[in-house]
Structure 1
Amino acid sequence: MHIHIFMHVPFEGPGCILDWINANAHEVTYTHWFKHTTPPTASDFDFLIVMGGPMGVHDESEYPWLTVEKAIIRQAIHDNKPVLGICLGAQLIAHVLGAQVYANEQKEIGWYPVRFSPSSPVKVLPQEMTVFHWHGDTFDLPAGAAGFAASAATPNQAFVYNKKVIALQFHFEVTQESLESMLAHGEDELVAAPYVQDKAFIHDLSGFIPENNALMHEVLTYLTK
């Protein structure tokens, strides 16, 4: 399978997703939007993964490539290809499916519990677990999508659309290395707030990484059945 990954900044990469790709001998290519590289068309790949980033879905004036990216995501969904969006990627999926994306009442940064619905398409997800978050925006559920995760700060943490598209606000994919990279580039956002943890506390809870990575692999396996 040819998997294509959209990256918006160099410090939010695929993390443990790359381990799963390599273990399953899939081909992987990238579009690094921050380098203004030439993107593929939807016909060039079998599975699209859209990573996170600090920009918002409405920031086309500052990041004009967002218009092109949205068109490719929309076409991939229309072509019934598997699509996974994480954080900004989830918000972009919600946006192209016609849902509103907007600033959340609270930023959510750090390790916070998420409750999963029994209707989750990925049956191995537990009832509740602690996952890593780094987002200030959120979305409404698109028409035809089924939400399956919520946290205290964010009612819509994840949804599935047409069985082939999954959007996750949180970061199952985070590894120790990618966590350090995100903290190094986003430390200025770690200000006192109800759902923002400090750097030391985030480090202290990094023991949750292996469980998060295992479930990231389960999501990827579901999408490639």
Structure 2
Amino acid sequence: MKTALALYHIDFEKLGTLEPVLAERGYQLEYINACTADLTRIDASEPELLIILGGPMGVDDGDLYPFMKTELELVKRRLESGKPLLGICLGAQFIARAAGAAVKPSGVKEIGFVPIKLTPEGEASPLAALKDTPVLHWHGDAFAIPDQAVHLASTDICATQAFSLGDNVLALQFHLEADPQHIERWLVGHNCEISGAGIDPRDIRRQAGQATGLAAKAREVLSAWLNQLGPGSLA
């Protein structure tokens, strides 16, 4: 059986709507809490698929949260292996930084369900099903597009929402995995952040109620990406 290793940072920010797809495709999924596990014991090239999920920290917070320096090195080794790597939000920022691109505060919190705009390359990518689809955004930092990467999507607030590096690496600033039916976990878990940003949780709750069909499109995107995976190397 193929293995998928997912590193998470918050209990309610796991693979959500994407998890069933991995089971259907024959992956044995293992979650590891990146905050508490010994990441030096992970062989970056061993799992068939490595997934780095979201979290409230920034990629430059390694002095405050030392495990993040180890996690960044793990992502670098995974990129060098050329094996499949998926990053969501903080995970995508790790990939950008590991690939040599800048990651920094954008000056604004993008929180809520907002449609993404696909680039021409994005329309021809596994993200095609998401054209003009509202997806969940929850970030204040933004990444630059690494050299040799393909820019796939944007929003009015954040021009860099997704990129790919070859067929095997996909980085998503937005939360494709988030289930709108479980948005209350996010509203409670990130209460301090949305309060500080002056965001009314009732607005996000209403947006979630209108995000019909998002889960099906998310599964379609992951399936399309899994279909294109190959052995290649970025090294």
Q: TM-score, structure 1 length as denominator? A: 0.91
Q: Verify the 8 A CA contact 1:138 1:154 in the aligned structure 2.
A: yes
Q: Which residue is 1:30 aligned to?
A: 31
Amino acid at match of 2:172: L
Aligned to 1:155, the other structure's residue is in SS state coil
What residue is the counterpart of 2:230 in the other structure?
Answer: none
The answer (yes or no) to whether the contact 1:114–1:128 under 8 Å persists in 2 is: yes
The Cα of 1:204 is off from its aligned counterpart by: 1.2
Give 2:216's aligned residue.
214
Structure-to-structure mapping, 1:1-225, within 5 angstroms:
1-38=2-39, 39-120=41-122, 121-122=125-126, 124-176=128-180, 178-191=182-195, 197-225=199-227
Q: Distance in 2 between matches of 1:123 and 1:188?
A: 32
Deviation (angstroms), 1:209: 4.5
Cα 1:220–1:188 shift into 2, 3 Å: same
The answer to whether the Cα contact below 8 Å between 1:110 and 1:132 also exists between their aligned partners in 2 is yes
Q: Could you tell me which amino acid in structure 1 is paired with residue 33 of structure 2?
A: H
Equivalent pairs counted in the alignment come to 223
Q: Which residue of 1 aligns with 2:231?
A: none
Which is further off, 31-40 or 12-21?
Answer: 31-40
Stretches of structure 1 that go unaligned for 5 or more consecutive residues are none
CA distance in 1, matches of 2:218, 2:133: 13
Deviation at 1:28, TM superposition (A): 0.8
Query: Does the 8 Å contact 2:35/2:67 carry over to 1?
Result: no
Distance 1:172 1:76 in 2: 22
5+ unaligned residues in a row in structure 2: which ranges? 228-235
Question: How far apart, in 1, do the equivalents of 2:69 and 2:182 lie?
Answer: 27
Structure 2: distance between partners of 1:219 and 1:40: 28
Higher helix share: 2
Contact 2:87 2:170 in 1 (8 A): yes
**How far, CA to CA, are the matches of 1:9 and 1:124 in structure 2?**
29
CA contact (8 A) 1:13 1:178 kept: no
Provide the identity percentage: 32
Aligned CA distance change for structure 1 residues 161 and 170 (closer, same or farther; 3 Å): same
Amino acid at match of 1:144: Q
Code of the aligned partner of 2:99: L
Say if 1:45 and 1:126 are closer, same or farther in 2 by CA, change over 3 A.
Answer: closer
Residues 27 and 126 (structure 1), Cα distance of their counterparts in 2 relative to 1, 3 Å cut = closer
